[in-house]
Structure 1
Amino acid sequence: MAETKLEADWLHREDLAMLVDALGAEDMRWVGGSVRDTLLGIEVADIDAATMHEPQEVIRRLKEAGIRSVPTGLDHGTITALMPGGPVEITTLRKDVSTDGRRATVAFASNWRDDAARRDFTINALYAHPVTGLVTDYFGGLEDLAARRVRFIGNAHERIREDHLRILRYFRFQARFGSQLDEIAEQACSELAETLKGLSRERVAKELLLLLGLPDPHSTVARMRKLGVMQVVMPESGAHQLDVLERLIAREKAERVKPDGLRRLAAMVPTVPPVAETIASRLRLSRAQRERLVSVSKRLADDAENARALAYRKGMEIAVDRVLLVGGSIEKLRGWEVPTFPLKGGEIVQRGVGAGPEVARILQGIQNLWVAEGFPDRERVLSLLDEELERREQAS
């Protein structure tokens, strides 16, 4: 069992000291991503703690200390402490009683090693003492972290059979942290890829979007396809879509655009709207995500040239997606605010046009001209209205 010392500014937060006092320093440890990321020198986003106390005792102790809490996962022993510096998830030590690949039945444990043994990867099973900062490593996680290797705890096949989602989690962690491949893990993921079909689509979609949202997941996604994993998750996505993804990532970097999981997913979707609808439905995407994915699947070669018109009609987010996916520059959109059309139907009625469909037709026609001319000011819009009404009068 290897040990090292954790050092980070967040360890000295006053609110966390209150939490440690409430739970008792010997009865809790910082665990998981906060320990892993601190050791890697990465900014810590979320702080998790493990404790020997059972949930009701955790709630009682927090209440006595004046700390608000929410029972976010009571069945699995998780309480969220609402701290001034951000929420902290506190989970009672656990061990698996039974698993079926989709969910686990757990029992509370009484020692740290049992809790560590049920975690997925060695780099996620590192525990830090809240006072001394000493890191306890039961399964070689520190060595794997140094080697940038993502390795399952114990037998990879068994760990995947316990929770099939670990296949996607493996590739996500590999894309984020890994440089040295683990052949045993990858073989297990390949051989058990079909088990992903038994998972809820929401869980699959969440992991897939997290993976695609990483800085550069292309090589990992390509390996997933080589190993037969991507074909199970997205059978519609072929070698061409991998090329589109690679070009998109390069374009995002060139344009200094933040990675976006759904935009990358759109790169993996053929430019056939009904296919995009099918994928969105299968992954149980939200309505907004579905509409965005389908709209982006309708992208055209001249989207970059018409970037502002696209942003006006479809929204800035979709415009950025489509321009980047066709290899264009978003310079026209950078810092540009989508304007409001400076004409109302009532103004057309005041000019003598009877209320009804004709007003809507005139309004739409002028709006189209306004967009085509690059969103001129209201004076020009009123001039366009004059011209349209004059044509109507001459025609009658």
Structure 2
Amino acid sequence: MKIDGAWIRTAATQDVFSALESAGYEAFFVGGCVRNALMGFAVVDLDIATNAEPQAIITSCENRGLKCIPTGIDHGTITVVSDGIVHEITTYRRDVQGDGRHAIVEFSTQMQEDAARRDFTINALYADRHGKIYDPLGMGKDDLAQKRVTFIGSADERIREDYLRILRFFRFSAIYADQDQGFDPETLSVISYHLDGLDRLSKERIGTEMRKLLSAPAPAPAIAAMRSSGALVRVLEGSDDRSLALLVHLESECDAYPNWLRRLAILGSMDARDSLRLSNDETQKLTVMRDAIGDMKPPHALGYHHGASLARDILLLRWASFEQMADNADWQAAASGAEYVFPIKAHDLMPQYSGPSLGQKLRTLEKQWIDSEFRLTKEALLNGI
């Protein structure tokens, strides 16, 4: 079995392999790039595993004129930039101890040991510079073909090493698994047993995983499995996923991209800012979306007040929350409303109005103009004073 693509054949990437192999070391693509290539998904990150230790990686690559950045040298990772293309090169490793947040590792010279320390079988696939696939554990290719997300070895042991793997299981299931097959009850049982471990993780790590999970094309079955295992309420207290599947369906109907923040809004958890460490901008948008679900502003007013993108987010949330069908007229009105500019300026009302009365009059006229669906002209508005 082989993979192919411009990302493999490009001279810049082949130069990285030549730098390591000419110095006597192994080098293999690993993880996401191999997995995604086999699935026909876009390859974004180039990860390379090698038996060269970090300093040897630097020496070998710098001797070929490549830029090396010690981004994670203590953990065996060197970033190598070749003709502007970023390659994350990591020494083979084996786990020697885990504290539930990060595994403590030692460097290894064996691909087999490196594969055994990874989380899922589909992440333990390697490929040489020509695209030939290596499956040192003998399970990854079959699991990927069958669209199964399976822990390597014991799920209990893998989770104990790093409790973030609970959330990674649901994220990878949302993207790579055939969710119509359901979720393995034994795996969900192990996850339920280890839910207390989620409390040991930083909110930043949890937030990063939840962003990725909610960005998946179809996250609803995985989120439902999270709920049944008890994991969802542990990371998002008070959340309710009953409307998520309908929201995803409506997104598809309206050709709307999978906005993770929109999907977070439909879950309804009120402590998302702290639980997921949202930024101020994310928190503000989330608040606007939630507050506008049940208000009476028509689509054109939503577009005018919030812009086309956020207004359409609100419409999708309303339709999903109230189990309504998508309305193309409303969809277009939200976009067109964003194009209008209120024609009255403060100086148009002076000196007749000033101070607080000026602001109040501007707001009154603006509401009349919006209520007219922007049909009232400047002259009509001023003549009505």
TM-score, normalised on structure 1? 0.86
Q: Taking structure 1 as reference, are residues 355 and 82 closer, same or farther at Cα in structure 2, changes over 3 Å only?
A: farther
Paired with 1:69 and 1:282, the residues of 2 have a C-alpha distance of: 36
Residue equivalent to 1:265: 264
Paired with 2:83 and 2:370, the residues of 1 have a C-alpha distance of: 48
What do the CA deviations read for 1:89-143 (whole angstroms, capped 9, x no partner)?
2212222232211122222222212211111001101111113624243241111
Q: Taking structure 1 as reference, are residues 306 and 156 closer, same or farther at Cα in structure 2, changes over 3 Å only?
A: same
Residue equivalent to 1:75: 74
Paired with 2:277 and 2:340, the residues of 1 have a C-alpha distance of: 33
Paired with 1:81 and 1:335, the residues of 2 have a C-alpha distance of: 47
One-letter amino acid matched to 1:288: D
- 8 A Cα contact 1:97 1:105, kept in partner: yes
What do the CA deviations read for 1:26-71 (whole angstroms, capped 9, x no partner)?
5211000111111122221222111222233323333333333433
More deviation, 331-340/107-116: 331-340
Residue equivalent to 2:323: none
Residue equivalent to 1:325: 317
2:244 matched to 1:252?
A: no
The alignment's C-alpha RMSD in Å is: 2.4
What do the CA deviations read for 1:300-335 (whole angstroms, capped 9, x no partner)?
4566x7122112223333322211111143232357
Residue 204 (structure 1) shift: 1.2
More deviation, 259-268/50-59: 50-59
- 8 A Cα contact 2:125 2:133, kept in partner: no
Show the 5 A alignment for 1:1-396: 4-24=1-21, 26-84=25-83, 86-131=85-130, 133-179=132-178, 180=181, 181-237=183-239, 241-269=240-268, 276=270, 278-301=271-294, 306-327=298-319, 328-329=326-327, 330-334=331-335, 337-349=338-350, 352-353=351-352, 356-376=355-375, 380-388=377-385
Q: 2:384 is paired with a residue of what secondary structure?
A: helix
What do the CA deviations read for 1:244-279 (whole angstroms, capped 9, x no partner)?
112211211111111111111111116xxxxx2x23
Residue 340 (structure 1) shift: 3.3
Q: 1:137 is paired with a residue of what secondary structure?
A: coil
Paired with 1:76 and 1:24, the residues of 2 have a C-alpha distance of: 21
Residue equivalent to 1:392: none
Aligned residue pairs total 371
Gaps of 5+ in 2: 320-325
Paired with 1:333 and 1:67, the residues of 2 have a C-alpha distance of: 50
Residue equivalent to 2:322: none
Q: 1:49 is paired with a residue of what secondary structure?
A: strand
Paired with 1:244 and 1:176, the residues of 2 have a C-alpha distance of: 20
One-letter amino acid matched to 2:205: R
Q: 1:105 is paired with a residue of what secondary structure?
A: strand
Q: Taking structure 1 as reference, are residues 83 and 355 closer, same or farther at Cα in structure 2, changes over 3 Å only?
A: farther
Q: 1:333 is paired with a residue of what secondary structure?
A: helix
Q: Taking structure 1 as reference, are residues 333 and 97 closer, same or farther at Cα in structure 2, changes over 3 Å only?
A: same
- 8 A Cα contact 2:300 2:335, kept in partner: no
Paired with 1:232 and 1:212, the residues of 2 have a C-alpha distance of: 16
Paired with 2:40 and 2:288, the residues of 1 have a C-alpha distance of: 39
Paired with 1:91 and 1:211, the residues of 2 have a C-alpha distance of: 25
What do the CA deviations read for 1:132-180 (whole angstroms, capped 9, x no partner)?
6242432411111122111111111011010001011111111211125
One-letter amino acid matched to 1:289: E
Q: Taking structure 1 as reference, are residues 39 and 298 closer, same or farther at Cα in structure 2, changes over 3 Å only?
A: same
Residue 386 (structure 1) shift: 4.1
- 8 A Cα contact 1:100 1:161, kept in partner: yes
Residue 213 (structure 1) shift: 1.6
Q: Taking structure 1 as reference, are residues 334 and 14 closer, same or farther at Cα in structure 2, changes over 3 Å only?
A: farther
Q: Taking structure 1 as reference, are residues 384 and 182 closer, same or farther at Cα in structure 2, changes over 3 Å only?
A: same
- 8 A Cα contact 1:366 1:381, kept in partner: no
Q: Taking structure 1 as reference, are residues 334 and 362 closer, same or farther at Cα in structure 2, changes over 3 Å only?
A: closer
